[in-house]
Amino acid sequence: MAGILAAAAYVPFFKIERAEMGRAWGIPSLPGERAVANSDEDSITMAVEAGLLALQGRSPEQIDILYFATTTPPYAERQCAPIIAAALDLPHQTVTADFTGTTRAATLALKAALDAVQSGAARQAMVVAADMRPGEPQTTWEQLMGDAGAAVIVAAQAPATIRAFTSLTGAPLGPWRRPQDRFVRSFDARVETEYGYVRTTVEAAKGALEKAGVSPQEVSRAVLYTPDFRSPLEVAHRLGLERRQLQDPLMMTVGNAGAAHVLLVLAAALEEAQAGEQLLVANYGDGADAFVVTLEGEVQRPPDRPTLAQLLALRRSLPNYGAYAALRNLAGREGPKASASPVTYWRDVAMELRWHGARCRACGLIQFPIPRVCRSCGARDQLDEMPLSHRGTIYTFTLDHLYAGEYLDTPVPRVVVDLEGGGRVFLEMTDCDPKEVRWGMEVETTFRCLHEWGGYHNYYWRARPLRIHMPRR
């Protein structure tokens, strides 16, 4: 049986206390906090972040399939997975597909990945999931939801074997969002919870346990899709599970991460689980999926890769609801407009998406962007394309108040970065206070959506302060 070779989770740098959201509207607040994506993040960029973490210490050349799961794709008509594949520097022959339209999309994609690997159609398959579902202001939905991404790599020989995959088609109950709807809508919550989430999830989970021959008492951790704070407890009760067997659903720290939620919680569980444990995983959305994960060995994590707990601990709180509303552009303000060239974007895809530079065969200098003539020795057409490092230090910087013809009160840091292993690049900074930028600061690249000029999403790399200072192997 195929299983999970690697797993990783990503949460954005910002969060907001739910008490701040309740205070802004004068309504009761839920406990805890929720994760908030930056204004230059979307489901594609968060999927890339999770994918890069999952690939850390592994070769992208082994990935034959990439599936992307989300309910909030940036495009209604354009496949998003190829953009992610390029940013992850996967081979051009990689098979890509999007799974969307339901919070169950990630496990549907995982089932397809498992089938492909078990049939021999792929050596390894990657599933990336990310969501930033829009909750209507002044509602519980706005507080419940959270932004995050997760990724898993599936292989035939893996320490976490997936068994007894069970799927059920659900009743026509649950949240929905039509093309013309800006925010998620729902029926009566009590009806949806009992006749939708609880009953369907319990049935799917029982089917998986019976098929695997595993009793509820043998389950070490139950990883459940969590739409709210209470209903997973009812699911656990009906399954005969004790509360201690439930993996932390991350509702107090992240919120409901939509299509990415179950993989996010699973990634957290695999960081803690040990060989011999049995995990029950159940996902919900227009039906339910459930399966059992048997750990025959520990899922290895590179020592220089941050854990989810570390990422959660180092986030920054937004000062108030106004800051959150600005990131979400709830006021509907139009940003600066300028022209954009799709031809240039296509021509420079190796640099803009794959993050490639070039090494001169004559003198060895690594350069970016990729030139035809070496800037050091003048050799012509003697440069070989190569991937660049995603870490470096700031050589020099400036704080620019002018952006696309507009004056900004908060300046945009623009930095010149010396990359590890060679190469010097000019990038904008994100996820930071401009006052904190300094010479010699350690930074890492992050995939972001710069703007939507020309009517399409323009993705590129920015720099951010190194979130976790870990030694490189």
pLDDT, one tens digit for every residue, the chain (473 residues): 799 999 999 999 999 999 999 999 999 999 999 999 999 999 999 999 999 999 998 999 999 999 999 999 999 999 999 999 999 999 999 999 999 999 999 999 999 999 999 999 999 999 999 999 999 999 999 999 999 999 999 999 999 999 999 999 977 778 889 988 989 988 877 888 888 899 999 999 999 999 999 999 999 999 999 999 999 999 999 999 999 999 999 999 999 999 999 999 999 999 999 999 999 999 999 999 999 999 998 888 888 889 999 999 999 999 999 999 999 988 877 766 767 777 888 888 999 999 999 999 999 999 999 999 999 999 999 999 999 999 999 999 999 998 777 777 889 999 999 999 999 999 999 999 999 999 999 999 999 999 888 888 999 999 999 988 655 43
Q: Which two tokens stand for residue 370?
A: 């990729």
Q: State pTM to two decimals.
A: 0.95
- Residue 301: the pLDDT is 84
- Residue 186: the pLDDT is 85
- Residue 453: the pLDDT is 81
Listed in sequence order, the residues at least 6 apart from 390 whose beta carbon sits closer than 8 Å to its beta carbon are 52, 355, 444, 445
- Residue 473: the pLDDT is 37
- The domains found in the chain, sorted by start residue, are 3-327 (3.40.47.10), 342-465 (2.40.50.840)
Listed in sequence order, the residues at least 6 apart from 34 whose beta carbon sits closer than 8 Å to its beta carbon are 15, 16, 18, 143, 144, 145, 146, 254, 255
Q: If 0-12 CB within 10 Å is exposed, 13-18 middle and 19+ buried, where does residue 157 land?
A: exposed
Q: Across 296-390, where does the E strand assignment appear? A: 316-317, 356-360, 366-367, 383-387
